[in-house]
Structure 1
Amino acid sequence: MTLDKIYQNRNLVALYDALNPAGADTAFYEKMAQDADSVLDIGCGTGLLTARLAQLGKDVTGVDPATEMLAIARQRPAGARVNWHQGDAGSLSLGRKFDLVIMTGHVFQVFQSDQDALAALTTAFHHLAPGGKLVFESRNPEIRGWQDWIPEKTRKTVTVADIGDVTIEHDLQSVAGEYVSFETRHYFPGKAKPNVLTSHSTLRFMDRDTIANLLATAGFDTVTWRGTWQGDPAQDDSPELIAIAVRA
Structure 2
Amino acid sequence: MVDDCFGHPRLAAIYDPLDTDRNDLDPYLRIVDEFGVCRVLDIGCGTGVFALLLADRGVDVVGVDPAQASIDIARAKPGAERVRWISGDATVLPPLRVDLVAMTANVAQAIVDQDTWQKTLRGAYEALRPGGLLVFETRDPASRAWEEWTQENSYRVTEIPGVGPVESWVQLIEVDLPLVTFRGTYVFAADGQVLTSDSTLRFREREETEADLLTHGYVVQDVRDAPDRTGREFVFLARRSESSRSGLNSIRH
TM, length-normalised to structure 1: 0.92
- What letter corresponds to residue 54 of structure 1 in structure 2? A
What's 1:246 paired with?
239
> Is the 1:187–1:196 Cα contact (8 Å) retained in structure 2?
yes
1:117–1:97 CA distance, 2 compared to 1 (3 A): same
What's 1:217 paired with?
215
> Is the 2:27–2:226 Cα contact (8 Å) retained in structure 1?
no
In structure 2, how many angstroms separate the alpha carbons of the residues matched to 1:245 and 1:134? 5
In structure 1, how many angstroms separate the alpha carbons of the residues matched to 2:91 and 2:19? 25
Q: CA deviation at 1:230?
A: 6.5
- What letter corresponds to residue 199 of structure 1 in structure 2? S
Q: CA deviation at 1:102?
A: 0.4
More deviation, 16-25/157-166: 16-25
Q: Does 1:55 align with 2:87?
A: no
What's 2:125 paired with?
125
- The alignment partner of 2:200 has SS state of strand
> Is the 1:117–1:214 Cα contact (8 Å) retained in structure 2?
no
1:110–1:32 CA distance, 2 compared to 1 (3 A): same
In structure 2, how many angstroms separate the alpha carbons of the residues matched to 1:239 and 1:101? 22
Q: CA deviation at 1:54?
A: 0.5
1:25–1:170 CA distance, 2 compared to 1 (3 A): same
1:230–1:189 CA distance, 2 compared to 1 (3 A): closer
- What letter corresponds to residue 196 of structure 2 in structure 1? T
In structure 2, how many angstroms separate the alpha carbons of the residues matched to 1:121 and 1:180? 22
In structure 1, how many angstroms separate the alpha carbons of the residues matched to 2:21 and 2:32? 16
> Is the 2:41–2:98 Cα contact (8 Å) retained in structure 1?
yes
In structure 2, how many angstroms separate the alpha carbons of the residues matched to 1:14 and 1:68? 8
- The alignment partner of 1:33 has SS state of helix
CA RMSD of aligned residues (A): 1.6
What's 1:15 paired with?
14
In structure 1, how many angstroms separate the alpha carbons of the residues matched to 2:25 and 2:51? 10
In structure 1, how many angstroms separate the alpha carbons of the residues matched to 2:15 and 2:166? 12
What's 1:229 paired with?
227
In structure 1, how many angstroms separate the alpha carbons of the residues matched to 2:28 and 2:47? 16
TM, length-normalised to structure 2: 0.90
- The alignment partner of 1:3 has SS state of coil
After superposition, the C-alpha distances for 1:188-214 in whole angstroms (9 at most, x for unaligned) are 1145xx321111111111110111111
Q: Does 1:29 align with 2:28?
A: yes
What's 2:114 paired with?
114
Q: CA deviation at 1:231?
A: 10
- What letter corresponds to residue 50 of structure 2 in structure 1? L
Number of residue pairs matched by the alignment: 239
Q: CA deviation at 1:107?
A: 0.5
> Is the 1:24–1:229 Cα contact (8 Å) retained in structure 2?
no
Fraction of identical pairs, as percent: 36
Q: Does 1:96 align with 2:96?
A: yes
- What letter corresponds to residue 200 of structure 2 in structure 1? T
Q: CA deviation at 1:23?
A: 2.8
> Is the 2:63–2:86 Cα contact (8 Å) retained in structure 1?
yes
